[in-house]
Amino acid sequence: MRRLLAALLLIAGTAGADPGLLVGEPAVDCRDGVYSASLRLSVAVARPLALAVLTDFDRMAGFMPNLAESRIVERNGNLYRVAQSGRAAFGPLSFAVSSERRIEVTADGRILARGLSGSARQMRSELRLSGNAPDETRIDYRIEVEPDTWLPCAIGTRFLRHELAEQFTAMGREMLRRSAAD
């Protein structure tokens, strides 16, 4: 499996940048101001480590670009209420972003999130962890969001594509960093 991932990374031209990490191009669509997007990535770490990074909400601002604050407001078993804030930038555009979300981590390898408040009128996402090899994790992510600030779809789709690629690359790098530290 590692050889296959290495070959894919060479083909994608990213092997020198992040060996062990392959982030696919986010697919983004916009209809009537509502954006839907999906992204797939593969990272050469075990699923429990990937999950630990994805749910490390209290330390997330330390490894996620544009995130100034991230904290667990409430936790009850596999249910979290998380507050985050920061500033997202893309070219000359810059936006303050904030969210409070209800996040559920399910036993079947999914992380389900729903926006409760913040800079989106509505937000829902699903992240699914999978993989057959013990040291490979595939992450499939889908989100639907309606921002509270209108953007033309042509700009908003590029902005969301950039943000998703940047955020998931940062999370993948943190997974690899923690794996190397073990």
Instruction: Kindly state the average pLDDT of the residues 139-165.
Output: 91
CA-based diameter of the chain, in Å?
A: 47
What's the CA gap between 167 and 153, in Å, rounded? 21
Please write the tens of the pLDDT for every residue from 97-136: 899 999 999 999 899 999 999 989 999 999 999 987 889 9
Please write the tens of the pLDDT for every residue from 165-174: 999 999 999 9
Please write the tens of the pLDDT for every residue from 44-71: 999 999 999 999 999 999 999 999 999 9
Residue-level pLDDT at 17: 63
Helix ranges restricted to H, 81-121: none
User: Over the range 114-140, which residues count as b (16 or more CB within 10 Å of their CB) and which as e?
Assistant: ebeebbbeebbbebbbebeeebbbbbe
Q: Show the domains of the chain with their CATH numbers.
A: 20-181 (3.30.530.20)
Residue-level pLDDT at 54: 97
